[in-house]
Amino acid sequence: MADPRARRSPLAGWAPQLQALNGAIRAQELPFLTQLNLRLDSGGPAADPVAKVLGVSLPTVPCTSVGSGVYEVLWLGPDEWLILAPAGSAPELMIALREAIGSEHAAVTDVSAQRTTVQLSGPGARELLAKGCAIDLHPAASPEGSCVQTLLAQTGIIIVVRDGTATDFLLLVRSSFAEYFAAWLVDASVELTEPA
Amino acid sequence: MTRVAAGGRIDRNTELAFTFDGKAYRGYAGDTLASALLANGVHQVATSICYGRPRGIMAAGVEDANALVQIETPFPEPMLTATTVELYDGLVARGLQGQGRLADLPDQARYDAMHEHCDVLVVGAGPSGLMSALTAARAGARVVLLDDQPELGGSLLASRNQLAEWVSAVTSELNSLATVRVLRRTTAFGYYDDGFVLALEKRTDHLGAAAPPAAARQRIWRIRARQVILATGAHERPVVFADNDRPGIMLAGAGRAYLNRYGVLGGNRVVVFTTNDSAYTAALDLADAGAAVTVVDARTEIPQHPAAECARRGVALKAGHVVTGTSGNGRVTGAHIAPYADGKAGARQGIGCDLLLVSGGWNPTVHLFSQARGKLRYDESLGAFVPGSSVKAVRVAGSAAGVFTLSGCLSGAADAAVAALQELGLSSAPPALPSLDAEPETTPGLVLWAVPDKGDESGPCRRFVDFQRDSTVADILRATGAGLTSVEHVKRYTTIGTAHDQGKTSGMIASGIMAEALSTDKHQVEVASLGTTTFRPPYASVAFAALAGRDRGEIFDPVRVTEIHPWHLEHGAVFENVGQWKRPRYYPQRSAAGSIEDIDTAVLRECRTTRESVGMMDGSTLGKINVQGSDAGEFLDRLYTNLMSTLKPGFIRYGAMCGMDGMIIDDGTVARVSDTEFVLTTTTGNAAMILDWMEEFAQTEWPELRVNLTSVTEQWVTIALVGPRSRDVLASVAAELDLSNEAFGFMTWRDASVAGIEARICRISFSGELAYELNVNAWDGLALWEALIEAGKPYGITPYGTETMHVLRAEKGYPIIGQDTDGTVTPQDLGMGWVVSKKKLDFIGKRSFSRAENQRPDRKQLVGLLPVDRTVLLDEGAQVLATADLSQLPVPMLGHVTSSYRSAALDGTFALALVRAGRERIGQRLHAWQDGELVSVTVTDPVLYDKEGARRDG
């Protein structure tokens, strides 16, 4: 029988290099998070029951996310959200959400392994992202809770802004692009982590 | 030595050693290569490209058309202007004749890019730019101020410390503000839509070999500004006369800049030839520095103030005179001056000189404004184009707007900033303007493009317009004489304005000379109506290395990999690129002696092992789309050619999709998970396209259908376990699952634990063999792969790559969409009429099937080809001919080979081909044309192996 600990996250091979970044930039994969894609009419009858399950209403302001303490709900489109949840909670949460939705038109899809999540923090985080991302991540333009789907260099990426000083971000990247993403990140940080 | 004893902005305590044209020199920190050369008395720095004439330094900035140099050390770089190269210790350079050479070594320097956003972007940090930036910064706006020089101040740097304290105070204030980013050594080179400006920052070029290796040498700034203020200044315009290209002839403003900024007196006996007031400041400054100066002014009336200042210093003044030509052997030794009236020059006389400064007026630097779609207006008094329309969110300030008094520049720049802030909703109190000495009233200049020349233009005297292109007045006259009346045509005919400087000193003059040439007694052609050539980005040369930035080497393009990739690497897989994916192509084995299998041997081995025992492949790159909703079945019925809504949960169906033209665009399998949920697969390369295609129909054509689509390509790792022993291998790791044909039939799926991992197992086959496709959460993919490899050992399991997959499927006649099809092939052409529903009312492509063209019996159809000599491998793409008789041209061609392989199972080579009326030709002998020879082939059914399907169930 395979050992469940044999699970391998997309950036397992990059952990040492990410760890070696320090000072202005800290980067760390948050592996195996539960991620569910939710499609739903936010004005429909299933919205409230879903909010009860999540402990928070689905955000309807474009490019925002809300957290309930347990779940982080990312707005991806007018009828689409990505729910981040603790590792291992996908089966129960899927069932709970589908029960809440009942026969309403919706879709809940487990996409936990579709993307991996990287926490990027530190005083150099915004400058590092600015090397490859056209979005204005200045706190004045992207306050805490902002959530954008954009490009970082040549890979699609979701960015969640986690504080009001642009020093803490969650980055979600498609698993097959994760190594490119990590290689880009490490390369981009050269000037930010070495003494000038 | 021509360095003056004191003054200038150079650091005389920091001496720098450099080499030019093989000779060692010394300069100071703060010098440019040009100023250091002049300080060492070197005026000739280059040679002209066509005529080999000696050329010198004509400007003090980016507009120089002459002084091209090749940098050799620290890293070879061609065609930089000596006027824009900051001097550093150890610099080795040489003058060029037009072209330089690229390094033949890889450039080890880093280049990168940075996105930046701001409320107000100010381009240029002269007095206007500083005033605008200060006004915006004090209002709390996010400001980016950029300037191409190493220090702020712009034109003030060329003055005798005018407003120096103010510049220094403003610089400190701007630097101290977190909301302001000041970029020095940065040139905005392109204005694109909606306040998007690209700029190049030269970050470590000036450090030479001392540049820290981790720091990006140059950086492209991608700036998105809500408001833009262009304070880009103006370029001085020369006047054209005979032999105007000698070293020692330069723009008047440049002569002044070299003196005041760099402490270099360019000559001791100076002639200043001007048509306007501005050159007098240069004349007076040089006279004060000890030069003997003569001013030659084309105007007959000299304004009182400069005339008086000249008289006070003993500067000779020749009003109503022009310079008609020069003498010299290399560097200028004399100016020919002559009275000038009614557009004609009189008898000439010579004045000895070692420096000839020229000013024909100033051209506002309107490049970025023009790129922003701003319209230009010809100002007759300036003889130049100025901004002539308003552009949303763009303002022009200072001399770029045609304002040439310092007080006018400062107040106009503050106004521009206030207006920009107003649009941003920011209130502002403009800072107080610095106090200025009273400026003398300016008098209009005379617009003079070229001094008439009685000489023979083809002789040794030439009146140069574009120095870098060696283009002359005669070239323009030849163009207009040939009937060209458009500035764009004349530009291309004469090449004026096409060099590195893009005509900064020559474009306006060329328009002026053209207008005069095209005018007749009866018809006056106005410069205004001729216009200028288009100002295209880049404003100044940008190295491709900078544009490439960090998109090189490992991160040139994303490499997509599956979770099993580390295993593939470890086991010596040879990869192929499928889109951005790296897929194992085959796994060569290493013999004990260390030799490595070639592709043919490896693939034959992989095929044989798989057909005879068991093989496995990483199929994770297949596109996977989850479809949910009560109308999911109906939705899929409309997209696929066959019926999907009748599929029962637990079952799988092969499906084909066509475009609206009835041509096949993709194929794959559809598994029904529940009444309201399906999972479908797409070909690897089409995953994104098919999801877009489906979304488009869901959102725009059939919004009434209750269906949602979610990509799950990377959620699942997919492993194909293939071959007659695949059941045995699977049984050993999935003990709870009944794998009998009765319990787990072909085209069904089951969820089960495989080696302790939750898996969805699909009984589908792309090889004709008994096969299972195992799908697991991607995190578990590598563990499952390793477990299967282990479990397969008793059966001699082999991993196989895309090449073996291709052979196995081709032996069964299964087409690959995109390889055996090209967007002109219907399912019927592929012999797959069975996949096209006759029952369904409608689906995408259905109506096109009834088109006459789609019904033709002689359409190209997929067939097999067996070379008569079964050792000959046909080329994919080889043409298929009906006849071996090549005497009748053109030889009728029937189609082409789409796939071709060596087969272990068929004991020889075989191919698939699209052949006109192919199915009717089965059994016929045709010919393939390759490598200049005919290869005889026999047409067969595309299914060449296990036609009866006996192997499917093991």
- Comparing CB atoms, the residue among B222, B714, B787 nearest residue A175 is B714
Secondary structure of residue B596 in the 3-state scheme: strand
Contact, B67 vs B84, CB < 8 A? no
- Are B629 and A180 an interchain contact pair (Cβ–Cβ within 8 Å)? no
What φ, ψ does residue B578 adopt, rounded to 5°?
-120, 100
- Given a cut of 60, is residue A194 above it in pLDDT? no
What φ, ψ does residue A87 adopt, rounded to 5°?
-55, 140
- Comparing CB atoms, the residue among A13, A107, A196 nearest residue B629 is A107
Q: Among all chains, which residue has been given the structure tokens 């990739």?
A: B565
pLDDT band at residue B424 using 50, 70 and 90 as cut-offs: very high
Strand partners, B618: B719
Average pLDDT of span B677-692: 96
Neighbours of B106 (CB within 10 A): 8
- Write the ipTM: 0.96
Cα B537 to Cα B197: distance, rounded to the nearest angstrom: 10
Assess B113–A contact: CB distance below 8 Å, yes or no. yes
Cα A77 to Cα B709: distance, rounded to the nearest angstrom: 13
Q: How many CB pairs under 8 A join A and B?
A: 138
Buried b (16+ CB within 10 A) or exposed e, B890-906: eeeebbbbbbbbbbbbb
| Mean pLDDT for all residues in chain B | 96
Cα A27 to Cα A183: distance, rounded to the nearest angstrom: 12
pLDDT band at residue B301 using 50, 70 and 90 as cut-offs: very high
- Stated pTM of the model: 0.94
Q: Which residues in chain B touch residue A6, judged by CB atoms under 8 angstroms apart?
A: 780, 782-783
* Residues B86, B228 within the same domain: no
- Comparing CB atoms, the residue among B117, B212, B215 nearest residue A138 is B117
Q: Which residues in chain B touch residue A150, judged by CB atoms under 8 angstroms apart?
A: none
| A interface test, pick of B627, B675, B715, B782 with most A CB neighbours within 10 Å | B715
- Given a cut of 70, is residue A137 above it in pLDDT? yes
Contact, B144 vs B252, CB < 8 A? no
* Residues B546, B397 within the same domain: yes
- Comparing CB atoms, the residue among A1, A110, A177 nearest residue B755 is A1
Q: Which residues in chain A touch residue B198, judged by CB atoms under 8 angstroms apart?
A: none
Q: Which residues in chain B touch residue A184, judged by CB atoms under 8 angstroms apart?
A: 550, 555
What local confidence, expressed as pLDDT, does residue A3 receive?
56
Cα B767 to Cα B748: distance, rounded to the nearest angstrom: 17
Cα A55 to Cα A63: distance, rounded to the nearest angstrom: 20
Q: Where in chain A is the domain with CATH 3.30.70.1520?
A: 34-110
pLDDT tens, B743-795? 999 999 999 999 999 999 999 999 999 999 999 999 999 999 999 999 999 99
Nearest chain A alpha carbon to B753:
A1
Instruction: Using DSSP bridges, classify how beta strands B292-297 and B316-319 pair: parallel, antiparallel or unpaired.
Output: parallel
Residue B620 CB contacts under 8 Å (≥ 6 apart), including other chains: B562, B563, B564, B714, B716, B717, B718, B719, B778, B781
- Given a cut of 60, is residue A195 above it in pLDDT? no
Cα B507 to Cα B496: distance, rounded to the nearest angstrom: 7
In a domain, B728, yes or no: yes
In a domain, B441, yes or no: no
pLDDT band at residue B458 using 50, 70 and 90 as cut-offs: low
To the nearest whole Å, the CA of A106 is away from the closest chain B CA by 7
Average pLDDT of span B831-839: 94
Strand partners, B297: B274, B319
* Residues B512, B375 within the same domain: no
- Given a cut of 80, is residue B401 above it in pLDDT? yes
What CATH topology corresponds to A12-31+114-193? Gyrase A; domain 2 (3.30.1360)
Last residue of a domain, one of B800, B817, B841: B800
Q: At what angle do helices B164-176 and B127-138 cross, to 10 degrees?
A: 40
Q: Where in chain A is the domain with CATH 3.30.1360.120?
A: 12-31+114-193
* Residues B608, B728 within the same domain: yes
Q: Among all chains, which residue has been given the structure tokens 């009146």?
A: B463
To the nearest whole Å, the CA of A115 is away from the closest chain B CA by 7
Neighbours of B102 (CB within 10 A): 11
User: How many domains would you assign to chain B?
Assistant: 7
To the nearest whole Å, the CA of B710 is away from the closest chain A CA by 7
pLDDT tens, B636-662? 999 999 999 999 999 999 999 999 999
- Given a cut of 80, is residue B323 above it in pLDDT? yes
| A interface test, pick of B118, B119, B559, B563 with most A CB neighbours within 10 Å | B563
* Residues B914, B826 within the same domain: yes
- Comparing CB atoms, the residue among A7, A32, A194 nearest residue B783 is A7
Assess B557–A contact: CB distance below 8 Å, yes or no. yes
pLDDT tens, B434-453? 999 888 888 889 999 999 87
- Given a cut of 90, is residue A4 above it in pLDDT? no
* Residues B69, B149 within the same domain: no
* Structural domain that includes position B866: 809-830+857-940
Nearest chain A alpha carbon to B178:
A138
- Return the closest-CA partner of residue B475 out of B426, B444, B513: B513
Contact, B437 vs B163, CB < 8 A? no
* Residues B92, B118 within the same domain: no
pLDDT tens, B796-806? 999 999 999 99
Q: What is the residue-wise DSSP string for B336-374?
A: EEEEEETTEE---EEEE-SEEEEE--EEE--HHHHHTT-
Q: Which residues in chain B touch residue A110, judged by CB atoms under 8 angstroms apart?
A: 715
* Residues B153, B112 within the same domain: yes
Structure tokens at B951: 């192997």
- Are A6 and B783 an interchain contact pair (Cβ–Cβ within 8 Å)? yes
For residue B425, count CB atoms less than 10 angstroms from its CB and return exposed for 0-12, middle for 13-18, buried for 19 or more. exposed
Residue ranges with strand state E in B254-346: 269-274, 292-297, 316-319, 321-329, 331-341, 344-345
Q: Using a pLDDT cut of 90, give the percent of chain B over it.
A: 93
Residue B932 CB contacts under 8 Å (≥ 6 apart), including other chains: none
- Are B558 and A132 an interchain contact pair (Cβ–Cβ within 8 Å)? no
Nearest chain B alpha carbon to A79:
B708
Strand partners, B777: B716
- Are B115 and A133 an interchain contact pair (Cβ–Cβ within 8 Å)? yes
Average pLDDT of span B111-126: 98
Structure tokens at B769: 């063999």
- Given a cut of 60, is residue B311 above it in pLDDT? yes
Residue ranges with strand state E in B771-906: 771-777, 798-799, 860-867, 879-881, 893-903
Secondary structure of residue B104 in the 3-state scheme: coil
Contact, B187 vs B539, CB < 8 A? yes
Last residue of a domain, one of B68, B88, B105: B105
Structure tokens at A31: 């592996």
Q: Which residues in chain A touch residue B115, judged by CB atoms under 8 angstroms apart?
A: 130-135
- Comparing CB atoms, the residue among A107, A109, A177 nearest residue B558 is A177
* Residues B195, B71 within the same domain: no
Superfamily for domain range A34-110: Heterotetrameric sarcosine oxidase (3.30.70.1520)
Q: Which residues in chain A touch residue B713, judged by CB atoms under 8 angstroms apart?
A: 114, 176
- Are A190 and B110 an interchain contact pair (Cβ–Cβ within 8 Å)? yes
What local confidence, expressed as pLDDT, does residue B404 receive?
95
Residue B278 CB contacts under 8 Å (≥ 6 apart), including other chains: B236, B252, B253, B359, B361, B362, B404, B445
C-alpha atoms less than 13 angstroms from C-alpha of A65 in its C-beta half-sphere: 27
To the nearest whole Å, the CA of A131 is away from the closest chain B CA by 4
Nearest chain B alpha carbon to A184:
B555
What φ, ψ does residue B730 adopt, rounded to 5°?
-65, -40
| B interface test, pick of A105, A126, A136, A185 with most B CB neighbours within 10 Å | A105
- Given a cut of 70, is residue B71 above it in pLDDT? yes
Contact, B717 vs B562, CB < 8 A? yes
Structure tokens at A155: 């890979």
Supply the DSSP symbol for B698. I
For residue B292, count CB atoms less than 10 angstroms from its CB and return exposed for 0-12, middle for 13-18, buried for 19 or more. middle
Q: Which residues in chain B touch residue A176, judged by CB atoms under 8 angstroms apart?
A: 560-562, 581, 621, 713-714
To the nearest whole Å, the CA of A46 is away from the closest chain B CA by 14
pLDDT band at residue B853 using 50, 70 and 90 as cut-offs: very high
Assess B349–A contact: CB distance below 8 Å, yes or no. no
- Given a cut of 50, is residue A196 above it in pLDDT? no
Nearest chain A alpha carbon to B776:
A113
What local confidence, expressed as pLDDT, does residue B438 receive?
85
- Given a cut of 90, is residue B954 above it in pLDDT? no
In a domain, B850, yes or no: no
- Given a cut of 80, is residue B900 above it in pLDDT? yes
In a domain, B533, yes or no: no
* Residues B791, B725 within the same domain: yes
Assess A14–B contact: CB distance below 8 Å, yes or no. no
Contact, B869 vs B930, CB < 8 A? no
* Residues B94, B6 within the same domain: yes
* Residues B586, B728 within the same domain: yes
Nearest chain A alpha carbon to B627:
A107
Q: Which residues in chain B touch residue A38, judged by CB atoms under 8 angstroms apart?
A: none
- Given a cut of 60, is residue A42 above it in pLDDT? yes
pLDDT tens, B228-283? 999 999 999 999 999 999 999 999 999 999 999 999 999 999 999 999 999 999 99
Instruction: Using DSSP bridges, classify how beta strands B23-29 and B46-47 pair: parallel, antiparallel or unpaired.
Output: unpaired
Cα B471 to Cα B454: distance, rounded to the nearest angstrom: 18
- Are A191 and B559 an interchain contact pair (Cβ–Cβ within 8 Å)? no
- Are B114 and A114 an interchain contact pair (Cβ–Cβ within 8 Å)? no
